[in-house]
Chain A
Amino acid sequence: GAGVSQSPRYKVTKRGQDVALRCDPISGHVSLYWYRQALGQGPEFLTYFNYEAQQDKSGLPNDRFSAERPEGSISTLTIQRTEQRDSAMYRCASSLFSGASYEQYFGPGTRLTVT
């Protein structure tokens, strides 16, 4: 079946612009996670949802970052007033349910470059 998909795969934007990154999880997966990955490092947690409810946003670096999942399926991560330090790979993952016994499946990521 189809895995996690993300769009766009690459995004180049100018400093100060807003960007919206989309994640389409595996069909039927309740939980959706957002991570950010800098070059040469492992992914770093940002936020996650169960259905449409945002359960934990402790990893969001500041209030320029927000995420939503209004219908409990597709999710959007929005970065307002982008800065060069926001440049990274943004990864989405989904799992059937939340809980530590359920593995997460990752998408291909969106590479964001802020110039």
Chain B
Amino acid sequence: DAKTTQPPSMDCAEGRAANLPCNHSTISGNEYVYWYRQIHSQGPQYIIHGLKNNETNEMASLIITEDRKSSTLILPHATLRDTAVYYCIVRVGDNYGQNFVFGPGTRLSVLP
């Protein structure tokens, strides 16, 4: 799998948008970008994923650059409960199901 680079930590004020960057400069054309988060010792929670187009769901938006070498996860109105480690993962697309390779992620702290 292509590797990703994320800042180790970020702060965000409560109520503001949190923008979490991810670099994946070696991504291939059939690799998806996934975002998960992990709160304390809970299991990783799926947030969103995309291939080429920007995506939005009830949790977040995913903005993928045109060259696909980087992406940004946007939490539009961060709350204290969004404090977590956020993982950006790229995953090869084929029919045989690939595991996720988790890096160290970004520790987001939402401050009151």
A residues near B (Cβ < 8 Å) are: 4, 31, 33, 35, 41-45, 48, 50, 55-56, 59, 89, 91, 93, 95, 97-109, 111
B95 touches A98 (CB 8 A): yes
A100 touches B43 (CB 8 A): no
B residues near A (Cβ < 8 Å) are: 30-32, 34, 38, 41-46, 49, 51, 85, 87, 91-105
- Interchain residue pairs A-B with the least CB separation, the first 9: A98-B97, A42-B102, A106-B43, A45-B99, A100-B93, A100-B91, A103-B46, A106-B44, A100-B32
- CB-contact partner of A59 in B34, B49, B99, B102, under 8 A: B99
Contact partners of B45 in chain A: CB under 8 A: 106
Most buried by A among B38, B94, B96: B96
Contact partners of B43 in chain A: CB under 8 A: 4, 91, 93, 106-109
Task: Report the separation of the CA atoms of residues A56 and B45 in the bound assembly, to the nearest whole angstrom.
Answer: 23
